[in-house]
Chains A and B, each alone.
Chain A
Amino acid sequence: MKSLIERIAAYTALIFLGVMGIAPFLYMFLLSTKRRIDIVVQVPPQLTFNWETFLRNYDEVLFRLGMASFIFNSAVVVGAATLIALILGVPAAYGFSRLRFRGNSGLANWILSLRFMPPIAVAVPLFLMMREIGLQNTYMGLILPYVSFSLPLVIWILIGFFDEIPRELDDAAMIDGCSRYSVIRHIMLPMVRPGLVTAALFSAIFIWNEFLVALYVIDAHSRQTISLGAATLVSAQRPIDWNIAAGVGVVTVVPILIFSMFIQRYIVRGLTAGAIK
């Protein structure tokens, strides 16, 4: 980085990359604030903002098309499934990190390999199962499969965090008479909090974005989750009003984008779980 030319080239490249990353989002937002006719007539769309059009479009997206209630459904399903996955996953991850037993790595492999399972291979059976036990069109019918989908991810991320806590700490507590459970509750949980946040975040994003299982299990409009709602509203199969389609897209991604701003450092940590070792 000596010469001026090199610096200019480097910063130009940096700006180009930033634009490449953000422009599609901004373009989608801009389209969502236009009238249908403007999208076709103004090329490229003018950088003007009209409150009235904006409110009309989003009123249609959120209330007439029902995206607001889909957000609510997703919040319930994501919250419950993530919480259950953490409650189940924490002890298991702790066990994999601490216990030495025969079959330890076999069992861990088995769980982690489910991370690679194609959802399409289980979607139809899950649908038939949920129909049999009467959970079609219920939150529970989505929460149960989503817990099992995000468990491998949660366990995988948490093993890495538990591995960083020195074992001497548990040994000391156990010598003092703590059971495994109180070690986890009183000593590990406070220390592994960044791990919990990371695991919860990745589980939540995954579930928020999932729509294949929802497509089968949910056919009542009132129970649709956000991604399922978006999928039915903007499918590439049929013609759409682009201002409304863009609004649906914005509503689907904005909660995640806002969420992600607060947790940047955890994102990198979660993505690279296992890669650094």
Chain B
Amino acid sequence: MPQTTQTTKAAGLSLRARSPLEILASNAMLFLPSILCLVAFAIYPLFYSARLSLTRLESAAGTPVWVGFQNYRDLMSDPQFWNAAMNSLLFVSATVSLQVLIGVGLALFFNLNLRFSWLVRSILILPMLITPLVVGVMWRALLNPEWGLINWLIEGVGLTAPNWLGSVRMGIVTLIMVEVWQWTPFVFVVVFARLQALPTDFYEAAEIDGASRYKIFRYLTLPLLMPAIAFAAVFRAVDSFRSFDLVYGLTYGGPARATTTLSFFAFQHGFQFQNYGYAAATSYVMLLILVVGTTLMFRYVNLRPEHLR
């Protein structure tokens, strides 16, 4: 018998019945470590940030001076804040809609299952794995006005290349283009996975009924893809709103603040100008926009498995 006890012990088995309290405690222990970590290094900093946004603090070593809502009032009357907000609005709406359009198109195209399309699919995954910072540097080289490859190509066919990164009007367009280059594959991968998982019998039925290709797409494929499209769009909207690395690598907010988005604006005040209270207030305005935005979006999109809704 001692032999058996040892083997059961080794497998982590115990034959003693557990009390409800013990079960509750062991179940709570599943979550506790994660929750503690998140509270300490995500939730507490968020509250810290809220407090900071009500103070003036202009060097890390200084003591915060309580100023109430002054930072928020200053923000509302700061034309550069509104400029950044407009840039963010343009950036997010343009990139998300372009990415959805092109991404869905790509998914349909790859659904033809051409030979070697797996290879191109794996290539298209690469851009979104690498840091936007390097994407920015890479495109700054490609778009260089003196020796860049793209201008050489454009001028090679006899056209004049736009001033990609040097003009106020083109700056934000270029930023949008590069973001679309990097992240359209995300929409494509998500939509394509859904497309490949669609049951084929619907299609057989539709074809037997004599539905045209357009009608099959419009009334069958598109509605079935909608959840995946919405999922991808929400993710892209949130991520392009909150990230600042591409701006940092590609344009550093210029020329003349034409590509300064809200997150880059907050970054500049928090890091470059060491205006911590002001940066915190900006990030709280961003959080507010995110909370309202995602709450609205989640009414239409379900991200979680059914049992957690």
Contact = CB atoms under 8 A, between A and B. Distances in A.
A121 interface: yes
A186 interface: yes
Interface in B4-53: 8, 11-15, 18, 26-27, 29-31, 33-35, 37-38, 40-42, 44-46, 48-49, 52
Given A24-B138, A95-B27, A236-B248, A124 B279 contact: yes
Contacts of B302: 277
A128 B48 contact: yes
A215 B274 CA distance: 13
A148 B251 contact: no
A14 B116 contact: yes
Contacts of A145: 41
Contact of A148 (B14, B38, B49, B138): B38
Interface residues on B, range: 35 or more
- In this complex, which of A28, A230, A249 has the most chain B Cβ atoms within 10 angstroms of its Cβ? A249
Contact of A249 (B14, B137, B270): B137
B60 A234 contact: no
Interface stretch (B65-73, B186-194, B207-215): B186-194
A107 B13 contact: no
B190 to A, nearest CB: 5
B139 interface: yes
A125 B31 contact: no
Interface string B98-119: 0000000010010010101101
Contacts of B31: 91-92, 95, 107
Interface in A144-160: 144-145, 147-149, 151-152, 155, 159-160
Interface string A213-234: 0011000000000010011001
A123 B270 contact: yes
Contact of B13 (A14, A23, A176, A208): A176
A99 interface: yes
A276 B194 contact: yes
Interface stretch (A49-57, A64-72, A108-116, A192-200): A108-116
Given A216-B271, A227-B131, A43 B49 contact: no
Contacts of A88: 33-34, 37
28 contacts: A24-B127, A24-B142, A27-B141, A27-B142, A39-B147, A88-B37, A91-B29, A95-B27, A116-B242, A118-B286, A121-B45, A121-B49, A129-B48, A147-B41, A148-B42, A149-B42, A159-B305, A179-B18, A182-B11, A182-B13, A186-B12, A211-B133, A212-B267, A230-B131, A231-B248, A252-B131, A274-B304, A275-B228
Interface of A: 1, 10-11, 13-14, 17-18, 20-25, 27-28, 31, 39-40, 43-44, 87-89, 91-92, 94-97, 99-101, 104-105, 107-109, 111-114, 116-129, 131, 144-145, 147-149, 151-152, 155, 159-160, 163, 176-182, 185-186, 205, 208-209, 211-212, 215-216, 227, 230-231, 234-237, 242, 245-246, 248-249, 252-253, 256-257, 260-261, 264, 267-268, 271-272, 274-277
